[in-house]
Amino acid sequence: MAAQKKSSDRRAGGASLGTRFSLTMSIALALVMAAAGVFLFTRAVAQAEKTQELAFLEAVKLRGKPTDTAYQPIQGSSVQTFENGTLQRIDVVLTKDSKTTGWLYRAKDTERHSTKDPRRYENNQDYEHGYEDGFKDGHQLFVPQSLREQAGEGLPILILGVTLAVILVGALVAWIIGGSVSHPLALIVEDIAQIARGNLRHRTRVRAGGEVMQLARSIDRMAADLDAARDAAFEQNRRERELSLASDVREALLPQTTPKLAGHELAARHVSSPTPGGDFHDFIEYPDGRVGLLVCDVSGRGVPGAMIGAVARSYLRAELLHHEDVSVAFARANRALSRDLRRGMFVSAMFALVDPREGVATVVCAGHKLPLVRYTGADGKIRVVHPEGIALGLDKGPVFERALKPVRVPLEPGDRLVCATTGAPAVQNPQGFELGEKEFFKLVLQHSARTTEQMLDGVLAGIEAHADGAPFPTDLSIVAVSRPA
């Protein structure tokens, strides 16, 4: 199929370069040689006619009576016969000046002399040179040698001139045809030079057929492929730089240490995805010994998501540390974020402020989809805590503040609170099925009898088992606090 397509492309592109060059040169040279042949034939015929006419004039002028001995055969010359001996040609010299040489053409008089009579020869010399009866009295014609020389006058120069003219015309035709062939190739060389200088969007300007057009199309495809490869490499480098920057920002978002909370156990786990974003968790330490557990999901991925996460973390930390009322702190952080975020961008948050003196956690939800999980040691069951509220940045203030409804959750001995980003239930297996919230809650319940650190390790092991080697779609953060019995 590929061979058929290549052959079809070649036919569509026109005759090959060699075929077109050979055909054009053959036609051009044939025309030149035909013109030269016609010219030489015309001049040769004219020269022959002129020579013939001169021969006739000279023969009439020099011819004497048949009985006159006007010609003397040249000693040692031979007699040439034609037409079965009825015609002769003899090399002779004029007897009247003994200088003019030429050829005597004679015809035999067959009517008057049919037999040979030795008595009619004047001497042996006459017999030897063919002056036998029948030729002496027949028709004769003398052609001087000078006429043959005149017949060839100018012919060498004429032939040389025609040959030079043919060579010059052929060279001119070859130059013209060579130029028509080399011009597209010169354009292709210039096009390749521009492409080599980095202008990969340049396209060839050749409009020809055969191999030249195929070469031009191949160069265009090569330039397009190189341009696409360069764009892909640039995009890949940009993405790698973006991922590296996002990873650096993400690492900066995560707490370096886990704080201490009197009478309680705190622990956290974070698993990064191949495409980092701005999801994070944090601990807010208050001077009076309280500790806040914070998890946030950020819309957007890469550097934009990481930057939004960094800004949200800064606003939330600053407001939560400076305001006793968590509702006021969230309201002020929302007003600040709504000014900085583009339309459609948002940050969801789940915050649990644990007061070890009262054994109570104040829980605030700002549009976080995954509820807080509460395990009660008294009955060994889990419950979900999901207060009302909308995400940060979606509203400039009034709607957000009215929707925010903090709740107080008791934290008795043996109880545990678990907060996680939505990346935990969103983990998929190779078949594309998500873990889901219910399975996540089951994992928390399954490992609730263990220490906080062990519980988080068990939950992560269960999530990874479900993923079965598939990468996590988003970053995953889980924080937990427990009050030992």
Max CA-CA distance within the chain? 177
197 versus 97: the higher-pLDDT residue is: 197
* Residue range 224-282, pLDDT digits in tens: 888 788 788 888 787 777 666 666 766 766 788 899 999 999 999 999 888 777 788 99
Cα radius of gyration rounded to whole Å, the chain: 58
Evaluate if residue 445 carries a pLDDT over 90.
yes
203 versus 446: the higher-pLDDT residue is: 446
* Separation of alpha carbons 222 and 214, rounded Å: 12
Beta bridge mates, 89? 80, 105
414 versus 31: the higher-pLDDT residue is: 414
pLDDT at 131: 44
| CATH 1.20.1530.20 holds for 254-482 | no
Evaluate if residue 123 carries a pLDDT over 50.
no
Count of C-beta atoms within a 10 Å radius of residue 247:
13
pLDDT, average across residues 27-33: 78
Beta bridge mates, 418? 373, 480
Q: Tell me, rounded to whole angstroms, the distance of Cα 428 from its chain centroid.
A: 39
pLDDT at 5: 47
pLDDT, average across residues 160-173: 80
Residue type, 363: V
pLDDT at 125: 47
- From the list 317, 273, 265, 310, the residue with the least C-alpha distance to 423 is 273
* Residue range 297-310, pLDDT digits in tens: 998 877 788 888 88
pLDDT at 391: 95
pLDDT at 126: 45
Question: Taking the complete model, does pTM exceed 0.85, yes or no?
Answer: no
Evaluate if residue 128 carries a pLDDT over 50.
no
- From the list 423, 411, 422, 484, the residue with the least C-alpha distance to 454 is 484
333 pLDDT band, cuts 50/70/90, is: very high
**Residue 439 corresponds to which tokens in the numbers above?**
């399975």
Beta bridge mates, 408? 362
At 293, is the secondary structure helix, strand, or coil?
Answer: strand
Evaluate if residue 1 carries a pLDDT over 60.
no
Count of C-beta atoms within a 10 Å radius of residue 435:
20
* Separation of alpha carbons 387 and 127, rounded Å: 154
What percentage of the chain has pLDDT greater than the value 90?
Answer: 38
411 pLDDT band, cuts 50/70/90, is: very high
| Chain region(s) in the chain for CATH 3.60.40.10 | 254-482
Evaluate if residue 119 carries a pLDDT over 50.
no
Q: Which of these ranges, 5-9, 36-40, 92-96, 426-430, has the smallest mean pLDDT?
A: 5-9
At 1, is the secondary structure helix, strand, or coil?
Answer: coil
* Separation of alpha carbons 234 and 148, rounded Å: 88
pLDDT at 195: 79
